[in-house]
Amino acid sequence: MQPEPTHEHGAHEHEVDTQHNQHDHHQMEMATNNNAAPMTTEAAHTDHQHMDHADHSEHGAHDSHGAHTDHSGHEQMFRRRFWISTLLTIPVLLFSPMIQEWFGFQMPEFPGSQWVGAIFSVIIFFYGGVPFLQMAVPELRNRQPGMMTLISLAIVAAFGYSLFAIFVNPMSSFFWEMATLIDIMLLGHWLEMRSVRQASGALNELAKLMPDTAELLAADGSTKQVKVNELHNGDVVLVRPGASVPADGEIAEGRSNINESMITGESRPVSKEKGDKVIGGTINGDGSLRVRVTALGAETTLAGIMRLVEQAQQSKSNTQILADKAAGWLFYVALGAAILTAIAWTIARGFNVEVLERVVTVLVIACPHALGLAIPLVVAISTALAARNGILVRDRLALERAREIDTVVFDKTGTLTEGRFGVVDTVVIAGWTVERATGIAAAVEGDSEHPVAQGIRQKAQELGAAKVTVTDFAAIKGRGIRAQVDGQDVYVGGPRLLEQLNLTPAGSIAQFAQQADSRGQSAIYLVQDGQIVAAFALADVIRKESREAVNRLHALNIKVAMLTGDSRAVAESVAKELGIDTVLAEVLPEHKERNVAQLQQQGRKVAMVGDGVNDAPALTRADVGIAIGSGTDVAIESAGVILVRSNPLDVVKVFELSRATYRKMIQNLIWATGYNVIALPLAAGLLAPVGIILSPAVGAAVMAISTIVVALNAQLLRGLKLGQA
C-alpha cells in the first residue's frame, strides 16, 4: 500500500512481502527408433509428448547451465540433408521426360540414361525421406496419425507410383515431384529448427555468462578460488571489477554499477550499493564488491528465467492444438478422398495408370507440411522476441488471451509508482533558491534512514545542490530533526514540528501546503532562524514511463483502471495525472481479487498488473495475470506473463505481441489449410467434366509455394518493433 502521512514526517515505511513460489518444470521425453532419426518439434507429433533430443547421435547435448534443449544438432542434420538431397535432385530434374518436354530440351542419351532419375530418386528417398517415415512410426503406434504420417503417405505414394510408372508409362512418373517434395520438407524442418535454436540462443548466451568459479572470502579476509557449485547460502564472495556475479546475492560491502542488460534488456548500468540485491550472471562495473550469496543453482533468477522461457516454448496454444487436430483430420480426409477418387475414376474410365496418377496426386497434395509449420514457427519466433523485450511468457494461453483484453488493472504502488517517497514539488520564500533549500534540508537529514529523508537527499542529488556542513544534529521525537548550519538552528519536519515551534505557514507556503494536502501529498517544512523558508511536497514517485504506457493502452482501445489501498485523494491525484479511466481506491489487499471479479461481471476481459506483493489472488482471478518488476522473483505461480523490468511500457508490449502473434498464426493457418481445401477437390478431378484437372506438377508447385509463404510470413514477425509509437 501507499505510505500514509504520520505526524513526524508525513510518511511511514513501505513494507514489502515478496512471495517466492516455485513452479513445476516438466522434463521432455523422447521417442526413439532404431536409426535414431530426428524428431521434429511439438507440431510433428500428435501424442503431445515432449522430447529430449540429448540421446540423438546427431544432436548437441544439453547445456550444463540449464535444462533447455539444444536444437543445433537437429538444425545441422536437416540443413545437411537438405543441401545433399537438393544437389541429388538436379539430375532427377534434368533427366525427367516431363521437365524436358516442358522446357524444350533433350539430355544426351546413353545406355541406362532412362534410369538416372530413378537411381538418384532412390538415394533421395532413403537419405532424405526415410527419416520422415521413422517419425511417423510413433504416430501410427499411438493410433494418432498426424503430420509425419501424412508426409510419409505422400512420399511413399509418389515413390511407389513412379517406380511402377517407369515400366508402364515413363512420361507419367513423377520422381521429380517426390524429390522436390522431400527437399521442401527438409527445408521446412531446417527453418523450423533454426527458429527454435534462435529462440533458445539467448538462453544459451545467458548460461555462458555464469562463471564456473568464484572467489570465496574467508573470515580472515583472504580469498579462495572455488567452484560455483561448491558455494553455500550465506557465503561471501569477492566480485572484482569487470567480473561476473557468480550467484544471486546481496551486497555486503562496496558500491559499483552492474550491467544487467542480459537479464533485463536495459542497456544502462544500474547503480548498486550495500544492501542491494544482485543477480548471478550480471557483470560488475568498476567497483569491487563483497556479495553475500542468497540463491544458488536452480533457485537463481537466471535459472528461473530459463525455466520460464523453456516452459513457454513447450506449452501449446489453442491455435497450435487446432493445427494438430487439423493435421489428424486431414489424414483421414486424404485417405477418404483417395479412395473415392480411385472408385470414381475406375467407374468412369476403367482402372489404368491415369487412375493411379489421380490417387497419388491427391495423396501428395494432402501433405500438410505448411500446416505443420504454421504455428511452431510463430511460437518459436514470438517467444524469442518476447525474451529480447524482457517479457517472460510462462503460459502460452495467457499470451494468446491477451489480444482479447479490453481493461487493464494496475496495482498502483510499485507498478505505476516506484514505491518510494520523492520530492514532487518545492516552494521557497524570496531570497532563497530551490537548490539551496534542498541542499540544506538534505544535509540536515543526512544521517536519517527515514523514507522522507531519502527522498529529500535523492532530490538534492538530482539538482546537483552544493554540499552543506551540518553540526549539532539532533532528532526531535515524533516531530522532525534539528541541526546547525553556519551557526543558525535549522529544522526539517512536518506540521507537528511547526506546532512545537509555534509557527504557521503563510502566503505562498500556506497555499502550497493546502494544494499538497488536496493531492494526498505530504508537506515537509524547512525552518531557519525561526522562519519557514521552504516547503517540500513528497509523494510516492510516479514512474516516468507510466503516463506513456496509459496513452499507448488507450491507443489500443484498452481501458485502464488503477487499484490501490491508498486514500481516495491520493488515488485521484495519480489517476488525474496519468489519465486513468477507473479508480479503485482504499482497497484492502484481500479485496483486490473481488474488485477484479466485479469488472469481469460487467463483461470485461481483464488483465491484472501487479508487482507480486499481495497481488497473487487478483493475478489468478484476472483473465491474464502480469507480474511486473519481478526480475528477482521470476517464479510467481499466479502470473501467466512475467516482466523482468519494472517498466509499465512493457505491459503495452505484451498486448502488441499477443495481437501480432495471433495475426500471424491465423494468416499461416489460412495459407496452409486454404491450399488443401482448394487443391484436393481439383486433384481428385471434381472439375474434370469441364476440363479442369490439377496435374501432379502444378499440385506440387502450389504446395511448395504454400510452404514457403507460411515460413516467410512467420519470419516477418522478427521485424516487429514492440513499444514504439
Q: How far apart are the first and last CA of the chain?
A: 32
Cβ neighbours of residue 597 closer than 8 Å, sequence gap 6 or more: 621
Look at residue 9 in the predicted model and tell me its pLDDT.
38
Per the CB < 8 A criterion, the answer to whether 411 and 625 are in contact is no
Per the CB < 8 A criterion, the answer to whether 592 and 561 are in contact is no
Binned at pLDDT 50, 70 and 90, residue 324 comes out as: low
Look at residue 535 in the predicted model and tell me its pLDDT.
93
Q: Provide the 3-class DSSP secondary structure of residue 48.
A: coil
User: What CATH number is given for 212-308 in this structure?
Assistant: 2.70.150.10
Binned at pLDDT 50, 70 and 90, residue 657 comes out as: very high
40, with CB counted inside 10 A (0-12, 13-18, 19+), is buried
Look at residue 704 in the predicted model and tell me its pLDDT.
67
pLDDT at 250 over 80: yes
Look at residue 81 in the predicted model and tell me its pLDDT.
92
Residues 222-231 have pLDDT tens digits of 888 898 888 8
Per the CB < 8 A criterion, the answer to whether 427 and 508 are in contact is yes
Binned at pLDDT 50, 70 and 90, residue 553 comes out as: very high
Look at residue 251 in the predicted model and tell me its pLDDT.
94
Look at residue 63 in the predicted model and tell me its pLDDT.
34
**What is the residue-wise DSSP string for 543-609?**
PTTHHHHHHHHHHTT-EEEEE-SS-HHHHHHHHHHHT-SEEE-S--GGGHHHHHHHHHHTT--EEEE
Over pLDDT 70: what percentage of the chain? Answer: 76
pTM for the model: 0.59
Q: Give a three-class secondary structure readout of 508-522.
A: HHHHHHHHHHHCCCE
The most confident of the ranges 97-106, 125-134, 170-179 is 125-134
φ, ψ for residue 214, nearest 5 deg: -145, 160
Strand order in the sheet with 559-563: 391-393, 641-643, 624-627, 606-610, 407-411, 559-563, 582-584
Strand partners, 241: none
Residues 600-624 have pLDDT tens digits of 999 999 999 987 556 777 888 889 9
For the record, the C-alpha cell of 200 comes out as 533458445
Mean pLDDT of 532-544: 86
Mean pLDDT of 158-180: 76
Look at residue 188 in the predicted model and tell me its pLDDT.
66
342 vs 307, higher pLDDT: 342
Residues 27-56 have pLDDT tens digits of 222 333 333 333 333 333 333 333 333 333
Strand partners, 421: 540
Per the CB < 8 A criterion, the answer to whether 363 and 338 are in contact is yes
Residue type, 27: Q
Q: Which residue has the cell 533468477?
A: 301
Mean pLDDT of 646-671: 89
Instruction: Report the alpha-carbon distance of residue 70 to residue 203 in Å, rounded.
Output: 10
**What is the residue-wise DSSP string for 166-191?**
HHH-GGG--HHHHHHHHHHHHHHHHH
Mean pLDDT of 169-189: 75
Instruction: Report the alpha-carbon distance of residue 609 to residue 264 in Å, rounded.
Output: 18
Strand order in the sheet with 283-284: 270-272, 256-259, 283-284
* Widest Cα–Cα separation across the chain: 118
Binned at pLDDT 50, 70 and 90, residue 319 comes out as: low
Instruction: Report the alpha-carbon distance of residue 302 to residue 323 in Å, rounded.
Output: 33
Residue type, 24: D
Look at residue 409 in the predicted model and tell me its pLDDT.
94
Give the DSSP H/E element, type plus range, for residue 668.
helix 649-684
Look at residue 696 in the predicted model and tell me its pLDDT.
62
13, with CB counted inside 10 A (0-12, 13-18, 19+), is exposed
Q: Measuring CA to CA, which residue among 187, 182, 185 is closest to residue 159?
A: 182
Q: Is the sign of the CA dihedral 29, 31, 37, 39 positive or negative?
A: negative
Binned at pLDDT 50, 70 and 90, residue 656 comes out as: very high
Strand partners, 411: 563
Domain ranges across the chain: 42-205+316-385+661-719, 212-308, 386-413+544-657, 418-542
Residues 415-463 have pLDDT tens digits of 888 777 788 889 988 889 899 999 999 888 887 767 778 788 888 888 8
Binned at pLDDT 50, 70 and 90, residue 171 comes out as: low
pLDDT at 78 over 70: yes
Cβ neighbours of residue 181 closer than 8 Å, sequence gap 6 or more: 154, 155, 158, 364, 367, 700, 703
The C-alpha R_g of the chain, in whole angstroms, comes to: 34
Residues 565-583 have pLDDT tens digits of 777 777 888 888 899 999 9
Q: Where are the beta strands (DSSP E) in 264-370?
A: 270-272, 277-278, 283-284, 289-295
Q: How far is residue 498 CA from its own chain's centroid?
A: 53
The most confident of the ranges 185-194, 500-509, 649-658, 706-715 is 649-658
Binned at pLDDT 50, 70 and 90, residue 249 comes out as: very high
Residues 465-507 have pLDDT tens digits of 888 888 888 878 778 888 888 888 899 988 888 888 888 888 8
Give the CA dihedral 545, 548, 550, 556, nearest 10 degrees.
-130
Do 212-308 and 386-413+544-657 share a fold? no
pLDDT at 82 over 60: yes
Annotated catalytic sites, by residue? Answer: 411
583 vs 318, higher pLDDT: 583
Residues 119-133 have pLDDT tens digits of 999 999 999 988 889
pLDDT at 697 over 80: no
Q: Provide the 3-class DSSP secondary structure of residue 267.
A: coil
Per the CB < 8 A criterion, the answer to whether 310 and 206 are in contact is no
Per the CB < 8 A criterion, the answer to whether 69 and 207 are in contact is no
Look at residue 580 in the predicted model and tell me its pLDDT.
94
Apex 704 CA angle, 699 and 706, nearest 5: 95
**Cβ count within 10 A of residue 486:** 11
Per the CB < 8 A criterion, the answer to whether 455 and 492 are in contact is no
Strand partners, 490: 483, 528
Angle between helices 353-366 and 318-349 (to 10 degrees): 170
What count of Cα atoms within 13 Å lies in the side-chain half-sphere of residue 403?
Answer: 13
Instruction: Report the alpha-carbon distance of residue 79 to residue 191 in Å, rounded.
Output: 9
**Cβ count within 10 A of residue 439:** 23
Instruction: Report the alpha-carbon distance of residue 723 to residue 410 in Å, rounded.
Output: 18
Domain 386-413+544-657 has CATH 3.40.50.1000: yes
For the record, the C-alpha cell of 226 comes out as 572455488
Cα-based distances in Å from 263 to 10, 124, 206, 633: 37, 45, 8, 13
Cα-based distances in Å from 440 to 470, 492, 513, 536, 690: 8, 9, 20, 12, 95
**Cβ count within 10 A of residue 428:** 20
Instruction: Report the alpha-carbon distance of residue 367 to residue 151 in Å, rounded.
Output: 5
Instruction: Report the alpha-carbon distance of residue 408 to residue 411 in Å, rounded.
Output: 10
φ, ψ for residue 672, nearest 5 deg: -70, -50
Binned at pLDDT 50, 70 and 90, residue 352 comes out as: confident
Per the CB < 8 A criterion, the answer to whether 176 and 92 are in contact is yes
Instruction: Report the alpha-carbon distance of residue 525 to residue 534 in Å, rounded.
Output: 6
Q: Which residue has the cell 509499465?
A: 648
Look at residue 84 in the predicted model and tell me its pLDDT.
95
Look at residue 86 in the predicted model and tell me its pLDDT.
93
Q: Which CATH architecture has domain 418-542?
A: 3-Layer(aba) Sandwich (3.40)
Instruction: Report the alpha-carbon distance of residue 37 to residue 611 in Å, rounded.
Output: 46
Mean pLDDT of 338-342: 88
Compute the mean pLDDT over every residue in the chain, rounded to the nearest whole number: 76
Strand partners, 118: none
pLDDT at 265 over 70: no
pLDDT at 320 over 80: no
Look at residue 20 in the predicted model and tell me its pLDDT.
32
